Chain A
Amino acid sequence: MRDALFDNDPDTVPEDGPPRFSILVCIDGSEESERGLKYAVKIGQGNDADITLLYVRPVDKGMKYGVNLARQHMLDWGIELPGMRALKAARDQLFELGFLDGDWSEEETRKRVYGDPIGDIMKTYTDKNDTHIALKLMVAPTIASGILDECELNHYDLTILAMHGEGGKNVRGKIKWGTTRTVVTEHHGTVLLARDIEENHGHLICVNDEKSIEAARQDAVLASRCQCPVYLLSVAETDEDLPAAKDAITKARAAIEGAGVEVVDAWTDVGNARDIIIERGKDFSVIVMADSSVKGFRRFFQSSVAYYVLQHAFNSVMIIR
C-alpha cells in the first residue's frame, strides 16, 4: 500500500472512474489546523473526495541522540508518538463530522526512511464508498521538504496548511512562517493557508490578468463544492489602469458564470493593491490569489502582492496555480 502510493506515477488516472478530488491537510496540533480540517471536510463533502492528514517530523540531527531511543520506548509501552496523537485527534474530528460513511476498514504500513528507525507511519481508513482518510506521520529533513515530497509524489488538488509565524499577523499554530513560505514558494499546486478560517463568508477572488482569470475560474469551481459565495475584486494602481481592472472583472465574471457558478458581487478599486486586498479581505473566509508560473525565489519578487497578502492578511489566503 505504502509503496504503491509512493511509487505510482502521480499523473496516472485510475482506470475505474474519474479522478477523485484529493485534499492534503497539514496537521500540527494547533487550532488553526483544526479549522483547516473543517474547511477540508466542507470542500470534500460528497463521495468523490479523499483527505490525507500529514504530520511531518524532522529527522533528528545534531546532539539529539537518545530521542529515537525514547520514541522506541514510547511505542514499546503502547504510547502514541506526538505526531500520531495529533493525527488521530484530527481523524476523530473527521469521524465526528461524518466524513466516512458507516463502517470502514483500516490498514497500517511503515517504511524506514532517512535512517530513522521508526520511519514513516501511514494509517488508511476506507469506507464502503471507497472514500479514504489517510494519516501520514512522515520523517523528512525539514517540515517543508516533507510537505513538498508528499505533494510531488501524490498529486493533491488542494493543500491546506495551518498558518503560523513571526512573519504573519494574528497567527498561532506550530508550523513556522519560514516553513509556510518555503512550501508556498516551491509548491506546484494550489495551497490554502488556513488562518482563523471562518466558514460561510465566501471567497474574495482577486483578478488582474489572464492568469488570474483562469485561477478565478478554478477557485469558483472549488468554492461551489462547499456552496461558498464568490466575490470578485480587481485593483487598479491608478485611474488610468481602471479600464483594464474593470475588463478583468468582466472576463472573470464571464469565466466563472460559464462554469456554472454565480458571482454575488464585484468591486473595482483604485490604490495600493496589497492594502486594499487585505482590508477588503477581512470580511471573507478566504482571499484567493493567482500565482505566476515562475519558480523558486523569483516568485517572491515577481508575485510580491500575493506573498505580501499571504503574510499580512488577517484571514485565510489561497494561492492558485
Chain B
Amino acid sequence: MRLRGTRNMRGLGFFLKEKRWLIIAFIVGVLLYLAPTPDGLTDASKTVLVISVVAVILFVTEPVPLPAVAFMIVIAQVFLLQGVDSKQVAQSLMSDSVVFIMGSLMLAVAIVKQKLDKRLAYLIVRMTGTRTLNISVGIALVSGVMASVIGEHTVAAMMLPVAIILITLTSDDPKKVRGLAAVLLFSIAYGCSIAGIGTPSGGARNAIMIGYWKEFYYVEGDASTAKYLVDYLAWIKVAYPVFLAQLPFVVGILFLTFKPEYKHLTRSVVKLRTMVEKEGPMKSSDWVAIMVFFATLLGWIFFSSELGLGIIALMGAVAYMLLGLVRWEDLNSGVNWGVVWLYAAAISLGIQMKDTGAALWVADSFLGVLPAGMDEGIGLLASVSVLTTLVTNTMSNGAAVAVLGPISLNMAATAGESPLVLGFITAISSAFAYLTVIGTPACTIVYASGYLKTTDFLKVGWKMVIMSTIVLLAFAAFYWPAIGL
C-alpha cells in the first residue's frame, strides 16, 4: 500500500538516474577488465584491482545498499578469480577481526540498553561546572574516553541529547545559538573521531589493521614475527597518547572557529541537573552492567594475545545476555549486520590484493609518482596520511583501511619502512574524516540533530585535518621511536 506513490518513480528513466553510479561502476569495471594487463600485474592481480575499483566507486556513491556491495565482492571473487573457489572465499570472510567487530557492535548495543546517558550527563556537568569552555572540554573528553573503547556511533548517540538539551535550554531559537550548538555538537563528533583510534575496540578500522598485520607478516613459530601480533595493550601504548594530545587542540579549534554566543550556560546546566537528578541513585543492574564492561576491557588488555580480541568481545556480549541485561532481540535489531558483512568482504578483498600482488603493484606505482623526499622516512608517512585522509573522507573509515591497508603495508616493504609504523599511520589517519557529514558515524549523528550545516564540516574540518596530521607525524617522529616501534 505504502509503495503506491513511489510506483510513479519506477520507470526506466528514473531507474537509470538513480542507479547511474552502479551502471558507471560496471562500465568502468568491464573496460578495465578488458583492457591490456599493465606490466608487473598478473591477470589475477588485475582482476582483484578491477573488483577493488568497482567496490570503491560503489562505497563512495552508494547507489545500492553497502551490504549488497559486500555480497558482490564475494560473488566477484568466486566468479572472476581463477583458482579461487567458494570455500576459500567463505573462509576468508570470517577472521578474529570480523568476530571482534561483531562482538564490539553487540557490546555497544548492550551498553546503550542500560540507559546510562543521563548518568553521563550528570557526570559531565558535575565535572565541568557552567563555563561553556569547560563543558565543551568535558563533552569531548567523556565522548573521547568512551569512544576509545566502544564504537563511536554508540557514544555519539548517547551524548547527542546532552548537547541538544544544553542548546535548547539556552535558547529556543537555533539562530541565536548557532555557535554554541556547533561547539557542543562538534565536541561530541570530533571527540569521538580522535579517540576511536585509542584502542583496538574503538573502531573496526583498528581491528582490520590488526588482522592485516597478522595475516601478512606473522608466521607461526617464528619469534621474529611475533611483534606483528599486536594486542590490545600494545595498540594503546602507541595510539592512546595521540588521542590525548589532540584533545586540547580540538576544543581550541572549535572555539576559534564558531565563537559560541554564551560563555556560561548556568541556567541550562541547572535545568539539566534537575532533569538528570530525577533518575535517582544508580541501580544494582547499572553497576553490574558497568562491571561487565570493565571485565571485558580487562579481558582485552590481559588475555587478547591468547584468546583473541573477538572471543573476548563475544564473551562480554554473552555475559550481558546471561545476566538478563540485554535480550537477543535487542542485539539482533540493534546491530547493523550489514556493516559486519561489509568489513568481512573488504578484508577478504584486501587479502586477495596481497596474495595476488595487486597491493604491491599499487604500492610501487604510488611510490613511483611521489616526489623525491616524500617516498621515504617522514615524507612517506605524510604521503600515506594525506592519501588515507582523502580516501576516508569519501567512504567509511573501516572500508578505507580495508582498501588502503594492504597497499600501505606493501609500500612499507618496498620503501624499507616498518609495516607497523605505516599500518598505524593508515589506521590513525583514517579517523581524520572531519570534512564531510558522512565521514564518520559520529559526524552523521550530530548532523542529524538539525543544528549543523554541511558547510560547517568544511569550515572546521580542514583545520582539524592539519592539526591531526601534524600531531600524528610528530608522534611518529619522536614518540614512537622512543617506545621502540
Contacts and interface: CB of A to CB of B under 8 A. Distances in A.
B4 A70 contact: no
B396 A153 contact: no
A213 B322 CA distance: 73
Nearest to B441: A66
A149 B161 contact: no
Contacts of B11: 296-297
A79 B448 CA distance: 13
Nearest to B62: A62
A74 B160 contact: yes
A149 B154 contact: no
Contact of A76 (B115, B442, B445, B449): B115
A149 B6 contact: yes
B46 interface: no
A38 interface: no
Interface string B370-396: 000000000000000000000000001
Which among A67, A82, A113 has the highest number of chain B CB atoms within 10 Å? A67
B448 A82 contact: yes
Given A70-B160, A149-B6, A82 B450 contact: yes
Interface in B422-449: 438, 441-442, 444-445, 448-449
B161 A76 contact: yes
A219 B161 CA distance: 47
Contacts of B442: 66
A6 interface: yes
A85 B173 CA distance: 11
B117 interface: yes
B9 A6 contact: no
Given A69-B157, A69-B334, A70-B160, A63 B4 contact: no
Contacts of B336: 65
B161 A74 contact: yes
A145 B333 CA distance: 26
Contacts of B334: 69
Interface string B383-426: 00000000000001000000000000000000000000000000
Interface string A150-187: 11110000000000000000000000000000100010
A186 B9 contact: yes
Interface in A47-103: 61-67, 69-74, 76-77, 79, 81-83, 85-86
Contacts of B157: 66-67, 69-70, 72-73
Given A67-B448, A73-B160, A79-B168, A149 B112 contact: no
Contacts of A73: 117, 157-158, 160-161
B448 A6 contact: no
A16 interface: no
A79 B165 contact: yes
A141 interface: yes
Interface in B1-18: 1-9, 11, 13-14
B445 A66 contact: yes
A144 interface: yes
Nearest to A111: B2
A64 B441 CA distance: 6
Contact of A151 (B2, B5, B118): B5
Contacts of B438: 62-64
A153 B450 CA distance: 28
Nearest to B396: A63
A6 B2 CA distance: 8
A77 B6 contact: no
A297 B5 CA distance: 17
Contacts, number: 117
B354 interface: no
Interface in B141-181: 151, 153-154, 156-158, 160-161, 164-165, 168
Contact of B9 (A70, A72, A117, A182): A182
A153 B7 CA distance: 11
A145 B2 contact: no
Contact of A63 (B117, B164, B441): B441
Contacts of A261: none
Which among A65, A140, A182 has the highest number of chain B CB atoms within 10 Å? A65
B375 to A, nearest CB: 32
B62 A152 contact: no
B6 A61 contact: no
B465 interface: no
A15 interface: no
A7 B4 CA distance: 11
Contacts of A72: 157
Contacts of B153: 65-66, 69
B244 interface: no
A117 B153 CA distance: 17
Interface in A1-43: 6-7, 29
A182 B117 CA distance: 41
A61 B62 contact: yes
B444 A67 contact: yes
A70 B161 CA distance: 8
B161 A148 contact: no
B8 A148 contact: yes
A77 B333 CA distance: 21
Contacts of B396: 63
B66 interface: yes
Given A66-B441, A85-B450, A74 B164 contact: yes
Contacts of A297: 11, 13
B233 interface: no
A283 B311 CA distance: 71
Nearest to B397: A63
Contact of A67 (B1, B151, B445, B451): B445
Nearest to A63: B396
Contacts of A69: 112, 153-154, 157, 334
Contacts of B451: 82
Contacts of B7: 152
Q: Which 7 interchain pairs have the tightest Cβ spacing?
A: A82-B450, A66-B153, A149-B5, A65-B336, A69-B157, A77-B161, A70-B157
25 contacts: A7-B1, A61-B65, A61-B66, A62-B438, A65-B336, A67-B444, A67-B448, A70-B156, A70-B157, A73-B160, A74-B161, A76-B115, A76-B161, A77-B117, A77-B164, A79-B165, A81-B450, A82-B451, A83-B450, A141-B6, A144-B9, A149-B6, A152-B5, A296-B14, A297-B13
Given A6-B2, A65-B336, A296-B14, 9 more contacts: A7-B1, A63-B441, A70-B157, A74-B160, A82-B449, A149-B6, A151-B5, A152-B4, A297-B11
Interface of B: 1-9, 11, 13-14, 62, 65-66, 112, 115, 117-118, 151, 153-154, 156-158, 160-161, 164-165, 168, 333-334, 336, 339, 396, 438, 441-442, 444-445, 448-451
